Structure 1
Amino acid sequence: MKEIAMRVKTSIFVLFVLFTSISCRQLKELQTFANCDFRLANLENTTLAGINVQNVRSISDLNLVQAAKITQSYASGSLPLNLIVNMEVKNPNATTAAMNSVDWIMVIDDKEIVDGTINERVQIAPDGGVTTLPIRISTDLRKVLSGMPAEQAVNMGLGLSGNGGKPTRVTLKIKPSIMVGQTVLKYPGYINVNQDFGGSSRQ
């Protein structure tokens, strides 16, 4: 019996050591992820009320049919904005960076428009590895910007990208998380992501 009890204690100790080791590794991966460089590489498939506005600066750049469709959509009580924001993560650190999920907030002209969460494990190789994380965004500007004049609300969804889809007025706030056992541990604060590597700030 003593031998069996000793084996059980030994097994429990080994499991504890393994769990502690795994937990430390995961926390290190999250810390490394937070210390990565971030940038918004480009915007893709930007549509407003179903109209492709990827390279549209203002409503005057639309033809009459397109402008009428957007105007009618707003008048009917809906102005859906859809786009993909491609965020690049560069890991300059000597260890692997990883996260299991990330909360995000899209900001246009310093105004928070929509938020969401991506539940997908992402790993970035050390020593300069780069990974692209596409963030699919869908929101109704009519509801988000209630009380804003129609022309101003429409223009909020136009001119979001320049040449090559480079974001001109869009930024992101992100909060990465990691799973340790059954517990979700979140980065304490938000990382502000802009257009260039090295331009991110932490809150």
Structure 2
Amino acid sequence: MRNIIAGIFLLSALLMSCGIGSQVDRLKALEQCSFGFQSADSVYLAGNDVPKLISRGEAGLLANPSLVLAMLQRKIPFKARILIQVLNPGQEEAGISAFEYKIMIKDVQLAEGYFDKPLVVKPEGGTTLVPVKIDTDLYPVLSNSRNQKAIADFLSQQTEQIAVVTLKIKPAFDLGEKKINYPGYIDISREISNRQLKSFLAAR
């Protein structure tokens, strides 16, 4: 979220004049927050429980008959629920009223959606958990054999492997009964290892 301040200052005059300055202050405070992946549950690929696939050594797409069938049908539904922890070390309350989001690994978009509940993080070490749902078709990603191998290797390797996951959010400000969208997305990136991912999946 390093670029958030520049965008906020460009909008501050307009937003202050609209009477939503406190929302701008909370968004500024959100820039100082740290974000981490707390857990992942209800993770299914083409109807298969992903942790069970991994535990049986079936991380490769062609290791499971139902995944092969899904590939032939050109549709591989992927569903998951991710809990993101937001920690506020600052002195001011942080938050936004709502936001659009996208989840990316490298340049590949895994999911997009809209979180329509206020996000509020208390100051001085306050934390909150944000549930983000993924419901997408991974066929465009997994139809590429290189992507298949990269994912299988990441999940099956005993040595630590690192991937960068990016959460892109577009905040919204309340103005009466209307919402004003932030121009563009704010990127929140974090490295995650295959060991961490497996521990997230195991903590269901």
What TM-score range do you get, normalising by the shorter chain? 0.5 to 0.7
Q: Tell me if 1:191 matches 2:176.
A: no
Supply the AA of the counterpart residue of 2:134.
I
Who wins on radius of gyration, i.e. which is larger? 1
In structure 2, the partner of 1:46 is 43
The answer to whether the 8 A contact 2:59-2:155 is kept is no
Q: What are the within-5 Å matches in structure 2 for residues 9-48 of structure 1? A: 23-48=20-45
- Superposition deviation, residue 28 in structure 1: 1.0
Instruction: Identify if the C-alpha distance between structure 1 residues 42 and 146 changes in structure 2 by more than 3 Å, giving closer, same or farther.
Output: closer
In structure 1, the partner of 2:144 is 148
The answer to whether the 8 A contact 1:48-1:82 is kept is yes
Question: Which ranges of structure 1 fall in alignment gaps of 5 or more residues?
Answer: 1-18, 197-203
Give the one of 171, 174, 180 matched to 2:175.
Answer: 180
- Flag as ranges the 4+ runs of structure 1 deviating above 3 A: 19-22, 55-60, 151-162, 167-171
The answer to whether the 8 A contact 1:161-1:168 is kept is no
Once residues 161 and 30 of structure 1 are traced to their aligned partners in structure 2, the CA distance between those partners, rounded to angstroms, is 39
Question: Which ranges of structure 2 fall in alignment gaps of 5 or more residues?
Answer: 1-15, 193-204
TM-score (norm 1): 0.68
Instruction: Identify if the C-alpha distance between structure 1 residues 169 and 188 changes in structure 2 by more than 3 Å, giving closer, same or farther.
Output: closer
- Superposition deviation, residue 124 in structure 1: 0.9
Partner of 1:70, secondary structure, is helix
TM-score (norm 2): 0.68
Task: Give the root-mean-square deviation of aligned CA atoms.
Answer: 3.8
Partner of 2:123, secondary structure, is coil
Q: What are the within-5 Å matches in structure 2 for residues 67-86 of structure 1? A: 67-86=64-83
- Superposition deviation, residue 62 in structure 1: 6.2
Higher relative contact order (CA 8 A, sep 6+): 1
Instruction: Identify if the C-alpha distance between structure 1 residues 137 and 106 changes in structure 2 by more than 3 Å, giving closer, same or farther.
Output: same
The answer to whether the 8 A contact 1:107-1:113 is kept is yes
- Range with bigger deviation, 84-93 or 182-191: 182-191
- Superposition deviation, residue 76 in structure 1: 1.2
Once residues 176 and 161 of structure 1 are traced to their aligned partners in structure 2, the CA distance between those partners, rounded to angstroms, is 36
In structure 1, the partner of 2:105 is 108
Supply the AA of the counterpart residue of 2:168.
K
The answer to whether the 8 A contact 1:99-1:178 is kept is yes
Q: How many pairs are equivalent?
A: 173
The answer to whether the 8 A contact 2:46-2:77 is kept is yes
Q: Tell me if 1:124 matches 2:121.
A: yes
- Superposition deviation, residue 43 in structure 1: 1.8
Identity %: 21
Q: Tell me if 1:93 matches 2:82.
A: no
The answer to whether the 8 A contact 1:174-1:193 is kept is no
